[in-house]
Structure 1
Amino acid sequence: MSDIFATASSTLDPRARARQPLVFGGIPEAEGWALAPITARDRVHFRVDRELPLDELRADLPDGVTVSYDQGDGLYRVDGARGSASVLADWVRAWCARHGCTTVGLRAETDVRRRAPKDLPPDFLADLCRHYGPVSLKRLQRNMSTIRLHLPDPDDLGQQVYEWVLKAVGQFDETKSVPFGAFLATQLSKWVHDLGRNAHGRTAADTEHKQQKAIATFIAEHQRRPSEKELAAYMGQSVATLRRNSQTVATLNGLRNLQSLDGGPDGTEILLPDSGEAPDEIMGEAEQTLLSHALTAACAPDPNARRDQRAGQPNVLGWATWYLTTWGGQTKTQLSSDLNTSVRNMNVYADRVEKALKDRLAELAE
């Protein structure tokens, strides 16, 4: 009789149920990770000024070397054996040069611990994604206001969540005695924050995050928004520093609100005043509006390019480089520091703008 009650108690105890291992594709989770253990390799990260022929690159790679392409970030990763990082970096530069491509931000990294999701049993991986996809969406509800700034389409959000699950699969180290679910939960918040960093620069995104967090905490404590002096004191900054950082945040929000970068700027009609009746000041403003419109149109996605290609995405960094150095009174060095990116990288995006802008200005001159 005592055994019956013990069994019933064990069945009803939620802690007992929680200890039951998850099974994916007929394989317990712990055993599935063991089938494709995480391994160390050297890796070269890089971007290029135009899309590479991946099939040709894979065919030319040395034995034992693989390449992957992150379409969302436009980032290539070449993986090889430990100790080969510098050799791989030289090989990538030479290969790209032979094919008329220029590498951007090439970086060699040693002793990277990763697994390829494709090395896991297919049924195991499919069931794992089906389980952790909805779990991740629920976990991300607290971050949804931030996520919608970058992924307003529910389909895009769903795809991004599963990409994050696969990214966690590749990085999860089963030897550290941390459950995969806990590891995934900690990474999700980090990756949500990276959405803003990737779109608008690390420094600007971090500044906005700190300010919004401080304002929210102040409101919770005092049931009102802080004044400028109160917010500066709360954050341990001078008012001058707060104002400078607030300008960075305002620039970031302005970039987000440039709907014409995503929504067909050429479809927007611009009404111009009659030059015979309007004063010179208004005509000067009209010409600046036309120039600003031409700049924004030059940074819009190419309608003939795929969304995963660089040309198929809004050129936000190119727009910021041109606008803030032309009208914002900033040098490229200052802007590089604010956005935490190199001047060389800014020039790559600005050159794309220049080519498109010349065509736009030629149309305006006609």
Structure 2
Amino acid sequence: MSDRIPTSPAVSADRSAAARGRGPLVFGGIPEAEGWTLAPITPRDRVHFRVDRELPLDEFRRELPDGVTVTYDQGDGLYRVDGACGSGPVLADWVRAWCAGRGIGTVGLRAEAGVRRRAPRDLPPAYLDALCRHYLPVSLKRLQRNMSTLRLHLPDPDDLTQQVSEWILKAVGQYDETKGVPFGAFLATQLSKWVHDLGRNAHGRTAADTENKQQKAIAAFLAEHQRKPSEKELAAYMGQSVATLRRNSQTVATLNGLRNLQSLDGGPEGAEIMLPDTHEAPDEIMGEAEQTLLSHALTAACAPDPAARADQRAGQPNVLGWATWYLTTWGGRTKTQLSADLGTSVRNMNVHADRVERSLKQRLVELAD
């Protein structure tokens, strides 16, 4: 019979740190593992919802029932109302009635029971501040492998730092210290997931997941056979028909084409595009380079004319012209379909597309030279 005495998660974490050859981390004068016990994670019922127009958050907070809190995720436009366990259905009805009484429509309103969370503000301020300062550079170093993806969505270093700081606070709210996993390991796992979510939120869940599955399948085939798969081989490897693979490939191609485009008002003429040596590069690489050049030329053709005044049509980015050209050329859409989707006439689309055509012809001649 064992005479070992069960130890708390805090003591276990401290011993793990000692076994790795360093003392436990201390934040604000409090050992890391002990800090979590000061604000333990607790279960609650949560109501998630979005609205069709901005919610008067201050008024909403004032009228919430006692003991109920609300948080707002501005990036996702998602509101979360938290109450005691068992109150979820009642809170959902209350939120629905409150919004309806003010002419606000709710979208995707649902109640979730037994959500385990902590409020970061419940931790000692000095502890939370020191913890975030410690894990920010650690997280940025951990995300170096994902930096190409992150820069697509967060090109400004300050925006990237802010986003990673928000992710650390999100991890603090979700971390369950009773499971014996160190916070640093939990944070690293979540960071990889949240990087993937950036693509899902920006380009659509289906497109991002399709791209991820295809890239994983191609990498697995390459590791097994030391060559890229053919279309039929990839379809068989993924358990799909060739027709399904082609449709999905079109989705991925459109997604990558959108990523290649630069901002309409970001000075595309100042960008340098590196081309591979045509004698050394295989045909598929040259095809990708030509696609990028065309995307660049189209974006440049839709940019504001620097010689025009800001109040003139030529002084504004030609967004409708860009959408018409791109989606009918690479997106498989017709002008009639786009007209219905964008709520404008085909004639208006043609006017903007003609402006693009005149500029694009000149730029394609320059590319050919």
Q: Which residue of 2 aligns with 1:238?
A: 241
Residue 294 of structure 1 contacts residue 361 of structure 1 at CA under 8 Å; is this kept in 2?
no
Q: Which residue of 1 aligns with 2:174?
A: 171
* Residue 78, structure 1, aligned to residue 95, structure 2: no
Distance 1:156 1:202 in 2: 23
Match among 321, 326, 334 for residue 327 of structure 1 = 334
Q: Which residue of 2 aligns with 1:281?
A: none
Residue 40 of structure 1 contacts residue 82 of structure 1 at CA under 8 Å; is this kept in 2?
yes
Relative to structure 1, is the Cα distance of residues 251 and 150 closer, same or farther in structure 2, using a 3 angstrom cutoff? same
Q: Which residue of 1 aligns with 2:95?
A: 92
Residue 265 of structure 2 contacts residue 303 of structure 2 at CA under 8 Å; is this kept in 1?
no
- The TM-score normalised by the length of structure 2 is 0.68
Q: SS of 2:66's equivalent? A: coil
Relative to structure 1, is the Cα distance of residues 268 and 202 closer, same or farther in structure 2, using a 3 angstrom cutoff? same
1:72 CA displacement: 1.1
Relative to structure 1, is the Cα distance of residues 95 and 156 closer, same or farther in structure 2, using a 3 angstrom cutoff? same
**Structure 2 alignment gaps of length 5 or more:** 1-16, 268-298, 306-317, 353-369
How many residue pairs match? The answer is 288
1:121-160 map, 5 Å: 121-160=124-163
Q: Which residue of 2 aligns with 1:336?
A: none
1:48 CA displacement: 1.1
**Structure 1 alignment gaps of length 5 or more:** 1-13, 270-289, 297-318, 332-346
1:105 CA displacement: 1.3
Partner amino acid, structure 1, of 2:46: R
Distance 1:262 1:188 in 2: 31
Q: SS of 1:77's equivalent? A: strand
Q: Which residue of 2 aligns with 1:278?
A: none
Distance 1:262 1:104 in 2: 33
1:217 CA displacement: 3.8
Residue 154 of structure 2 contacts residue 160 of structure 2 at CA under 8 Å; is this kept in 1?
yes
Q: Which residue of 1 aligns with 2:321?
A: 293
1:46 CA displacement: 0.9
RMSD: 3.5
Deviations 1:168-191 (A, max 9, x none): 000001111111111111111111
Q: Which residue of 1 aligns with 2:5?
A: none
1:124 CA displacement: 0.3
Deviations 1:102-140 (A, max 9, x none): 111112111100000001001100110011111111111
Match among 19, 35, 43 for residue 40 of structure 1 = 43
Q: SS of 1:79's equivalent? A: strand
- The TM-score normalised by the length of structure 1 is 0.69
Residue 200 of structure 1 contacts residue 252 of structure 1 at CA under 8 Å; is this kept in 2?
yes
Residue 120 of structure 2 contacts residue 169 of structure 2 at CA under 8 Å; is this kept in 1?
yes
1:101 CA displacement: 1.5
Partner amino acid, structure 2, of 1:327: T
1:230-309 map, 5 Å: 230-257=233-260, 259=262, 267-269=303-305, 292-293=320-321
Relative to structure 1, is the Cα distance of residues 223 and 324 closer, same or farther in structure 2, using a 3 angstrom cutoff? closer
Aligned identity (percent) is 77
* Residue 62, structure 1, aligned to residue 60, structure 2: no
Distance 1:128 1:187 in 2: 17
Distance 1:90 1:57 in 2: 14
1:328 CA displacement: 8.9
Instruction: Identify the structure with bigger relative contact order (alpha carbons < 8 Å, sequence gap 6+).
Output: 1
Q: Which residue of 1 aligns with 2:356?
A: none
